[in-house]
């Protein structure tokens, strides 16, 4: 009996240590991403995945990693498989935790990348799933304000991209829901929840310009030059802000 109890104690200690290690790797991933260290972040989360392949916390971060890798990929044909892998990891995360806000956010983000790659007006079903997942995350609102901001950003950007074609053209595609006012409200909410985040500021500038509020949009675009990068791709976004001004 004593031996059984000892073995049980050892097993529980190992489980606790493993959980702590995976948790620290997830935290390291978040810190490294914000420091723009994608290589280090990849090593951290892939190690966590080896140790806990069924962890919700690990799986949604794996989805996020593959979205970033897809954005950074130089060979155009290699982007789509990475985005698709992001969708797969988000699906796995949601299979484990169907009430997980981050799972919905990163599935929406990954599918959004897939839709942009293929052409949003050719994959209406994918675009509609982006909308539905973003709304699911907003309704859940059970994680961080940053995650809620991302959900509003994704939904706002979807609305904005759809308005690039007239509603009558979009109606047969099942995409008539795209609306410039909705785009504005969601992008405004995103930047309120996470101020000075370049990704959100850039899209907010774009929606203002699309609404013929050009001077306001340009003022936001000018501010972007002085903001600190916090997400891989922010250097390129700063260049995009300069293009808006030009």
For 219-244, write each residue's pLDDT tens digit. Answer: 999 999 999 999 999 999 999 999 99
In a domain, residue 2? The reply is no
Q: Which domain holds residue 109?
A: 38-154
Cα-trace Rg, the chain: 20
In a domain, residue 97? The reply is yes
Identify the pLDDT of residue 19.
Answer: 59
Alpha helices (runs of H) in the chain, residue ranges in sequence order: 2-34, 38-51, 56-72, 79-96, 101-118, 124-140, 145-162, 167-170, 180-193, 198-210, 214-224, 234-245
Nearest-angstrom CA–CA distance, 234 and 109: 17
Number of other residues whose CB lies within 10 A of the CB of residue 166:
9
Nearest-angstrom CA–CA distance, 137 and 143: 9
In a domain, residue 110? The reply is yes
Nearest-angstrom CA–CA distance, 39 and 206: 31
User: Do 207 and 180 form a contact (C-beta atoms < 8 A)?
Assistant: yes
Identify the pLDDT of residue 9.
Answer: 37
Instruction: Report pLDDT digits (tens) over 102-134.
Output: 999 999 999 999 999 999 999 999 999 999 999
Tell me if the pTM is above 0.85: yes
At residue 13, does pLDDT exceed 60?
no
In a domain, residue 65? The reply is yes
Mean pLDDT, the chain, rounded, equals 93
Number of other residues whose CB lies within 10 A of the CB of residue 183:
25
At residue 18, does pLDDT exceed 70?
no
In a domain, residue 200? The reply is no
Domain count for the chain, please give it: 1
Question: Euclidean distance between the first and final Cα of the chain, in Å?
Answer: 78
At residue 98, does pLDDT exceed 90?
yes
Residue 229 phi, psi dihedral angles, 5° rounding: -65, 135
Nearest-angstrom CA–CA distance, 7 and 42: 35
C-alpha neighbours within 13 Å on the C-beta side of residue 25:
23
Identify the pLDDT of residue 8.
Answer: 41
In a domain, residue 23? The reply is no
In a domain, residue 44? The reply is yes
Domain with residue 74: its CATH number is 1.25.40.10
Residue 74 phi, psi dihedral angles, 5° rounding: -80, -30
In a domain, residue 179? The reply is no
At residue 17, does pLDDT exceed 60?
no
Instruction: Report pLDDT digits (tens) over 177-221.
Output: 999 999 999 999 999 999 999 999 999 999 999 999 999 999 999
C-alpha neighbours within 13 Å on the C-beta side of residue 144:
7
Assigned token pair, 148 = 């809620």
The DSSP letter of residue 176 is T
Nearest-angstrom CA–CA distance, 243 and 78: 26
């Amino acid at each position: 009996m004593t031996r059984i109890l000892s073995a049980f104690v050892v097993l529980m200690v190992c489980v606790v240590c493993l959980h702590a290690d995976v948790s620290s790797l997830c935290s390291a991933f978040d810190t490294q991403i914000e420091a723009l260290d994608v290589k280090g972040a990849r090593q951290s989360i892939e190690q966590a995945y080896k140790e806990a392949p069924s962890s919700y916390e690990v799986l949604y971060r794996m989805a996020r990693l593959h979205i970033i890798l897809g954005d950074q990929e130089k060979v155009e044909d290699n982007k789509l498989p990475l985005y698709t892998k992001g969708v797969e990891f988000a699906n796995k995360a949601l299979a484990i935790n169907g009430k997980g806000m981050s799972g919905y956010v990163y599935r929406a983000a990954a599918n959004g990348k897939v839709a942009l790659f293929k052409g949003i007006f050719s994959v209406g079903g994918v675009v509609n799933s982006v909308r539905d997942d973003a709304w699911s995350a907003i309704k859940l609102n059970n994680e961080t304000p940053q995650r809620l901001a991302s959900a509003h950003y994704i939904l706002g950007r979807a609305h904005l991209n759809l308005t690039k074609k007239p509603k009558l053209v979009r109606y047969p595609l099942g995409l008539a829901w795209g609306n410039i006012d909705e785009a504005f409200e969601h992008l405004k909410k995103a930047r309120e929840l996470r101020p000075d985040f370049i990704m959100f500021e850039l899209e907010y500038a774009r929606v203002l310009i699309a609404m013929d509020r050009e001077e306001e949009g340009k003022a936001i675009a000018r501010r972007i030059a002085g903001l600190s990068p916090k997400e891989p791709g922010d250097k390129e976004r700063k260049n995009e802000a300069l293009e808006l001004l030009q």
